[in-house]
């Protein structure tokens, strides 16, 4: 009979397990200006790498996972369709929905959880520890939401339920801390990406299309760690916006073993993609097909204000879960990109504080505007279709400058910056900006 403990055979030839010491999830901490951020960026997606989960013995389901962790997605600007018991998303102003994929599911690829607070923190208030009474009350609240009322679970996921528990109740027992109330059992690092309204629609349409494959059958959802895991779902949801290239599911097994995504690596990959090109390097932006497409189609580039890295620890004190938790990188032993890049992102205030972020971009955009070359100068070395890109780019730049000014005005009355080190930037991108991830990936999977 399958247990909930991780039991996968892991392919790690040619790779190193990086970062075995449990990280400090108190650093950099949550974004301090959440309300101002939401006012400035109405639509955004948050990719989160959540730690292993480790249940204390003798209470409820025996849940444990490996140090590779799990991945979840949070969408601001999307909500669940209230007319459907089955999880279906739609775009809506200020809507908030968490998305989690789980190997337990038969007729769904993912479950949607309404509200940022319940998705991450259940019914706990900030700073509160987790008691057994709160744990039980949170499961009852989740069942009142009907999170799994239209989702069928696999027999093995319910096999260990006690005789006095119903199958429906046990769905919420084996899923808490993974799909909802995530911070009860897991810590997390998250990378946040603002998107346009059209891009949020593309994310929503992609996720709905994934669930539609399994809603009515006859096909059933069957996750495969190397060929179709929780990271594939989230990566490809963002790929629907042309932020980056998609990761095909169900690739040939040997190819999949060398390329499948890892939760904590993906956080760095998102930040790397956002900083791949200097926003003032028109040549590089134009010759990157995806950035050219998103500028012309959505008036959007990946390296814009609002890309944020934050963290949250597991709830402590904790009567249900262990709190000494790992979340590791899988890194190329020769290049070793991920640990070094992550440390550099942690060291830069603009990734953790909205004021520092906006000040950095204000100076950057001023430099770009100052260094502008006329179109005729560019057409001496670029193809003729560069003209449309050039014109769209400087319309985009004007809107970005207005966005930054509006954001700084929004913050000015109540906020003083955490650092004076970011009052200006040098000519060109800062030298500490990490290069894109180049190493192959190979995660240690976890039983959900």
Could you tell me where the beta strands, DSSP code E, fall in 240-382?
Answer: 308-312, 329-331
For residue 261, pLDDT beyond 90: no
> What is the predicted pLDDT for the residue at 226?
58
* Out of 210-219, 275-284, 413-422, least confident range: 413-422
DSSP β-bridge partners for residue 16:
331
Average pLDDT over residues 289-318: 97
Q: How many helices (H) and strands (E) does the chain have?
A: 15, 8
Quote the CA–CA distance of 372 and 396 in Å, as a whole number.
14
Averaged pLDDT for residues 256-284:
89
| Angstrom distance (rounded) from CA 358 to CA 411 | 10
**Averaged pLDDT, 174-190:** 98
pLDDT in tens, 121-167: 999 999 999 999 999 999 999 999 999 999 999 999 999 999 999 99
Residue 15 tokens read as 């790779």
**Which pLDDT does position 4 carry in this prediction?**
37
* d(C-alpha 208, C-alpha 109), whole Å: 9
Q: How far apart are CA 236 and CA 308, in angstroms?
A: 20
**What are 36-94's pLDDT values in tens digits?**
999 999 999 999 999 999 999 989 999 999 999 999 999 999 999 999 999 999 999 99
Q: What does the CA dihedral 271, 447, 112, 187 come to, rounded to 10 degrees? A: -50
Res. 429: pLDDT tops 90: no
Q: Once rounded to an integer, what is the mean pLDDT over residues 257-270?
A: 84
Which of 10-19, 166-175, 220-229, 278-287 has the lowest average pLDDT?
A: 10-19
Residues in the chain, total: 448
Count the neighbouring beta carbons within 10 Å of the beta carbon of residue 380.
Answer: 6
If residue 9 lies in a helix (H) or strand (E), which one and from where to where? none
What is the rounded distance in angstroms from the CA atom of residue 113 to the CA atom of residue 184? 15
CA distances to 148, 158, 225 from 152, in Å = 8, 11, 20
Model confidence at 256, pLDDT cuts 50, 70, 90, reads low
Greatest mean pLDDT among 5-9, 196-200, 423-427 lies in: 196-200
Please list, residue by residue across 268-297, b when 16 or more beta carbons sit within 10 angstroms of its beta carbon and e when fewer do: bbbbbbbbbbbbbebeebbebebbbebbbe
Please check the confidence at residue 252 and state whether its pLDDT lies above 70. Answer: no
- Please tell me the predicted confidence (pLDDT) of residue 20: 53
Residue that is written with structure tokens 């100052």 in the block: 370
The mean predicted confidence, pLDDT, of the chain is 87
In whole angstroms, give the CA distance from residue 58 to residue 322. Answer: 13
Confidence of residue 251 (pLDDT cuts 50, 70, 90): low
């Amino acid at each position: 009979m399958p247990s909930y403990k991780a039991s996968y055979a892991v392919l790690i030839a040619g790779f190193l397990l990086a970062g075995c010491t449990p990280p400090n999830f108190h650093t950099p901490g949550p974004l301090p200006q959440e309300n101002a951020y939401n006012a400035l960026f109405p639509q955004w997606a948050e990719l989160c790498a959540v730690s292993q989960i480790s249940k204390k013995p003798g209470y409820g389901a025996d849940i444990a996972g490996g140090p590779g962790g799990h991945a979840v997605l949070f969408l601001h600007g999307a909500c669940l369709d209230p007319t459907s018991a089955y999880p279906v998303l739609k775009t809506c102003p200020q809507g908030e929905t968490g998305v989690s994929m789980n190997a337990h599911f038969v007729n769904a690829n993912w479950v949607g959880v309404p509200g940022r607070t319940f998705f991450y923190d259940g019914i706990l208030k900030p700073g509160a520890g987790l008691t057994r009474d709160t744990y039980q009350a949170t499961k009852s609240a989740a069942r009142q939401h009907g999170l799994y009322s239209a989702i069928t679970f696999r027999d093995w996921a319910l096999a260990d339920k006690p005789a006095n528990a119903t199958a429906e109740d046990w769905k919420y027992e084996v899923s808490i801390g993974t799909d909802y109330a995530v911070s009860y059992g897991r810590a997390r690092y998250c990378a946040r990406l603002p998107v346009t309204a059209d891009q949020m629609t593309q994310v929503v349409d992609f996720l709905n299309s994934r669930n539609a494959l399994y809603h009515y059958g006859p096909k059933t959802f069957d996750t495969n760690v190397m060929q179709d895991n929780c990271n594939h779902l989230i990566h490809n949801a963002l790929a629907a916006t042309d932020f980056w290239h998609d990761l095909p599911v169900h690739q040939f097994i040997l190819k999949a073993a060398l390329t499948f995504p890892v939760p904590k690596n993906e956080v760095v990959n998102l930040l790397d993609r956002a900083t791949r090109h200097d926003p003032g390097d028109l040549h590089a932006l134009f010759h990157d097909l995806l950035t050219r497409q998103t500028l012309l189609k959505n008036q959007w580039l990946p390296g814009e204000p609002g890309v944020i890295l934050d963290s949250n620890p597991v709830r402590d004190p904790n009567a249900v879960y262990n709190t000494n938790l790992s979340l590791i990188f899988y890194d190329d032993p020769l290049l070793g990109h991920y640990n070094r890049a992550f440390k550099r992102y942690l060291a830069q205030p603009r990734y953790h504080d909205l004021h520092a972020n906006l000040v950095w971009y204000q100076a950057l955009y001023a430099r770009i505007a100052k260094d502008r070359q006329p179109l005729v100068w560019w057409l001496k070395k670029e193809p003729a279709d560069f003209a449309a890109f050039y014109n769209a780019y400087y319309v985009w730049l004007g809107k970005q400058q207005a966005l930054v000014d509006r954001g700084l005005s929004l913050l000015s009355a109540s906020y003083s910056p955490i650092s004076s080190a970011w009052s200006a930037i040098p000519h060109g991108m800062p030298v500490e900006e990490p290069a894109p991830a180049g190493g192959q990936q190979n995660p240690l999977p976890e039983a959900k």
